[in-house]
Chain A
């Protein structure tokens, strides 16, 4: 079946540090890949996405590149802020055209804590 694996954390960094959260996936076809962020007490928000190999998604200083050869979609940010503290979820969707469903398959989530 389809699955997403990501480091669970918590990951604790100092402000202005470089961030990498690893994400690898297993899928029967060629999925679309997503990073969602969940702030305390809120629902998930889309952070960025990539729909085909070698695409780079970017938003708010975060980036991730769709690597088909390594089945990975690692999230990076050059300089984190305290306000980036949240839980980050990597996810995939195959969609019906890809032999799956439109619903998202999520990783377990990575709790990120940024200290001032």
Chain B
């Protein structure tokens, strides 16, 4: 158990809908990262937050947004969903940001868009 909790574990929704994925980081971790894992694109970094502020953006679509709340949990919002958004979404957390810092991953939320 990494200590990172993601909910829900599975989500099935229809095209055009909006969903929210939730992540609780390890106790004491200030930085949260979101990743998307799909068969065609592999694992891609989406976005990073540090202590409530956005720190870096990766390959995140404009239809997607995220935030980190004062209690440090984070939510990833996916809207106007398309079939191609079906993927495993991982949250990771680390104590501090930084290139050499170890990130701890949750078990992921599997999103299926039908």
Contacts and interface: CB of A to CB of B under 8 A. Distances in A.
B105 A96 contact: no
Nearest to B2: A43
Interface of A: 31-32, 36, 41-46, 49, 51, 89, 93-98, 100-109
B68 interface: no
Interface in B68-106: 90, 92, 94, 97-106
A89 to B, nearest CB: 7
B48 A102 contact: yes
Interface of B: 2, 4, 31, 33, 35, 42-48, 55-58, 90, 92, 94, 97-108
Contacts of B104: 46
Nearest to B107: A43
The 9 closest A-B pairs by CB, nearest first: A95-B99, A103-B45, A43-B105, A101-B56, A106-B43, A93-B99, A32-B100, A51-B100, A44-B105
30 contacts: A32-B99, A32-B100, A43-B2, A44-B90, A45-B105, A46-B102, A46-B104, A51-B100, A93-B100, A94-B99, A95-B97, A95-B98, A95-B99, A96-B55, A96-B56, A98-B99, A100-B99, A101-B48, A102-B33, A102-B98, A102-B99, A102-B101, A103-B33, A103-B35, A103-B47, A103-B58, A104-B33, A104-B35, A106-B43, A107-B42
Nearest to A8: B42
Contacts, number: 77
B98 A45 contact: no
Nearest to B56: A101
Which of A43, A46, A98 counts the most chain B CB atoms within 10 A? A43
Given A103-B45, A109-B43, A49 B102 contact: yes
Nearest to B105: A43
A93 B100 CA distance: 7
Contacts of B92: 43-44
A93 B98 CA distance: 8
